[in-house]
Amino acid sequence: MFAYIVRRLLHTVPVVIVGSFATFLMVSAAGDPLGDLKAKQPPVSPAVLAAETHRLRLDEPLHLRYWHWLSGIVRGDWGPSVSRIDIGHEIGQRVLVSVRLVAFAMIVAVLLALVVGLVSAVRRYSVIDYGFTFLGFLMLSMPAFWLAILLKQQAIDVNDAVGVSLFYTVGDSSIPAPTGFADTVRDVLGHLVLPTIVLAMTAFAPWSRYVRSSIIEVLQSDYVRLARAKGLGRRTVLVRHALRTALIPLTTVVGLDLAVLFSGAVVTETVFQWRGMGSFLLTAVRERDVYAVMGWLLVVSLIVILFNLIADLLYAVLDPRIRLA
């Protein structure tokens, strides 16, 4: 198992390098980072433009700029920013906010997908199955930003109606921050409710369909029929045999959709005005800050690669027939 982990990590190195270089090319070609500075009135002096060009390494060839960025990451230097921020420090503060949201949304979405998919498979072609199918397609067709806006507006209306802030609609924490561990945890969880619902509802819909189809296929397999013939109870067959095997496709889909969750978190954080990776990315794109965008993409890609490695390792836990030699 350890050798397999090492091989997988070594295989991801060229993937990260090639992917980051391709992204660096596209981001660099997206626009001039000094465009806003050049458009200022009165015009800035040529000396200032030359100094900024040198500071942002725009006077270097593209391959040298990429090499300086890549080698700087190893030393903890994330590159110069257009807005003169410390990119590494800023990402370090914001990444935990976004990871917290994505992790909670993923847990809720997986639990919902398991329950809905299992009930739909057991009661297929029933009113419950059709109802869950309609709900799934409704969530699939509803954009995340639209659901977030609707949910936020409804929460504001409820708060106004009762005269008490039952739901937090702005920010990832209160200002000023509460004192004490229990109050801090309660405040963080309270701000997580609405954004987590948005991300979880948009993610669980396709996952529940995968669970439903997988369980239906497993229930028709020979070893499940044998388990029933041996006299095992219906619940035991579903949980210990059918559901465990059906979790393998779900694990694959969740690992692949982690990047989609992060993209949805960008929109959700913007609607609820969170100070996470979403607002950081949007600001970097608006300012055409190449190194800030690259830092965001690098962190998210590493998280996705790590989670997919964990998903591969879970295969052996879910199915004893799989051996990672």
* H/E run at residue 8: helix 2-28
Determine contact, residues 163/124, Cβ cutoff 8 Å: no
Residue pointed to by tokens 């060009």: 53
Which pLDDT belongs to residue 302?
85
71-79 contact pairs (CB < 8 A, 24+):
73/298, 78/291, 78/295, 79/290, 79/291, 79/294, 79/295
Token pair of 309 as six digits: 């490695």
Phi, psi of 64 (to 5 degrees): -70, -35
The pLDDT tens digits for 3-58 are 767 777 787 888 888 888 888 888 888 888 888 888 888 888 889 889 989 998 88
**pTM for the structure as a whole:** 0.84
Which pLDDT belongs to residue 112?
92
Digit-by-digit pLDDT tens for the chain (325 residues) are 677 677 777 878 888 888 888 888 888 888 888 888 888 888 888 898 899 899 988 888 988 999 999 899 888 889 899 888 899 999 998 999 999 999 999 999 999 999 999 889 888 889 999 999 898 888 888 888 889 999 999 999 999 988 888 888 888 888 777 888 888 888 888 899 999 999 999 888 889 988 888 888 888 877 778 777 877 777 777 777 777 777 888 888 888 888 888 888 888 999 998 888 888 998 888 888 889 999 998 888 888 888 888 877 777 677 666 654 4
Which pLDDT belongs to residue 197?
92
Distance in angstroms (rounded) separating the CA atoms of residues 49 and 126: 69
Determine contact, residues 91/277, Cβ cutoff 8 Å: yes
Determine contact, residues 56/34, Cβ cutoff 8 Å: yes
148-157 contact pairs (CB < 8 A, 24+):
148/194, 148/195, 148/198, 148/267, 148/268, 148/271, 148/272, 149/271, 151/194, 151/197, 151/198, 152/194, 152/271, 152/272, 155/194
What is the four-CA torsion angle of 282, 283, 288, 292, rounded to 10 degrees? Answer: -90
Question: Cis omega (within 30 of 0) on the bond before 42?
Answer: yes
Distance in angstroms (rounded) separating the CA atoms of residues 127 and 90: 50
- What's the one-letter identity of residue 162? V
Which residue segments constitute the domains of the chain, with CATH numbers given?
2-75 (no CATH), 87-318 (1.10.3720.10)
